Amino acid sequence: MNNLLNAENTGTPLIIIEKIAYQTWLESQDKQSKAWLSNTQFTGNGLALIPNSQGEINQAVFVVADASDFFACGDLIKQLPQGQYLLHADAKHVEAISFGWLVGAYQYDRYISNKSAKVLASLAINNADAVESAIKFAEATALTRDLVNTPAADMMPEDIAKAALALAEQFNGDVKQIIGDELLVHNYPTIHAVGRASVHTPRLVDLTWGESKNPQVTLVGKGVCFDSGGLDMKPAAGMRNMKKDMGGAAHVLGLAQLIMAHNLPINLRVLIPAVENAVSSNALRPGDVVTTRKGLTVEIHNTDAEGRLVLCDALAEAENDEPALIIDFATLTGAMRVALGTELPGFFSTNDQVAADITTAGLRNSDPVWRMPLHKAYDNLFDSTIADMTNCPTQPFGAAISAALYLQRFVEKTDWVHFDVMAFNVRHLSGRPLGGEAFGIRAVFDYLAARFK
């Protein structure tokens, strides 16, 4: 990404201003520039290229409604002609502009034979710290997008483990794995139960980084690499994009990269239960009862409610360390998408201050999140006549809340945040192409950076 954004002081001037300031800016321009903008019927919205007397680009102006929006300039890099541009903008907007510039360059082209030969424009910013920061955030976003976008054939449990190992190697961390029947030996029965039907062996990926003297933060990510629904099989339309059901794992790896790249003073642990929810003769059945790591027995009402099963064992393990905070990410329920749509991730928290601070961080950096209630009155929806609980209620209402309540039973003492994310863009937005997307990781990172200084 260094070839797209650099800390230099040369290039064609690129003026980025807000619409409210456009008229004042226009009045300060020379007669030739005013005439050009008038004759080309530029209305003070979007991009205008202003030539000099030789027909070369003399300056570019990009007018946006809100330059503090981190995605306002997300499509600009693909709109400008090739060349280097020097940013002229209000200093308070540089962080947002540089991030938007880089994420707008993203393209997932791993399987495209004839890749685009177009050379993108580059942006010079006379601020080395801003350039370095933008690159770190854009790289973490790209990692999350890449992992989600990769088809399931090339993103199975062993591939998630490879991604974690690559991060550990890059940042001097450590990765351990508990694989296959060893999950039973080490008491991770629900991870094993969900993943045992696949030829791709289930596993718990355990990444650690940082010094033990620092406060511990544990991230848990749902790593269901493909979700057929199991024996309660999804219809074709519901299965089509289930390569993204490991989006929680992708999110915690992207967030972990941010934490390690910024060298936050925390003791980081990342737990990813990685499985494929497949169909075979040994698949988990509706009506089966499984015993979780915590010792609670769970009657399987629906094998398509598998994410909470793999997460509950990982969450129980996460609490063993008594960390300062546990945060999990999961593509857990369609109900959350019904409630908030695909572009606003919902989250639950057992700590009001943590929830408020994460929400505030997300508003500042255009990574909005919305807190949902852990409505305890729904707890008895999990009642079972033959086990401690079921894995999901028989009625469909409030399903995102009930899923969170299920998980909460496995985190009793530690402050806990649970994100239920889409992990996927279903429409193109500025700087956000169709496909895999990172939701909430910048909000959480900014919260962690402020708390653990």
Residues with a catalytic annotation lie at: 234, 308
Which 3-state string (H, E, C) describes the chain? CCCCEECCCCCEEEEEEEHHHHHHHHHCCCHHHHHHHHHCCCCCCEEEEEECCCCCEEEEEEEECCCCCCCCCCCHHHHCCCCEEEEECCHHHHHHHHHHHHHCCCCCCCCCCCCCCCCCCEEECCCHHHHHHHHHHHHHHHHHHHHHHCCHHHCCHHHHHHHHHHHHHHHCCEEEEEECCHHHHCCCHHHHHHHCCCCCCCEEEEEEECCCCCCEEEEEECEEEEECCCCCCCCHHHHCCHHHHHHHHHHHHHHHHHHHHCCCCCEEEEEEEEEEECCCCCCCCCCCEEECCCCCEEECCCCCCCHHHHHHHHHHHHHHCCCCEEEEEECCCHHHHHHHCCCCCEEEECCHHHHHHHHHHHHHCCCCCEECCCCHHHHHHHCCCCCCEECCCCCCCCHHHHHHHHHHCCCCCCCEEEEECCCEECCCECCECCEECCCCHHHHHHHHHHHCC
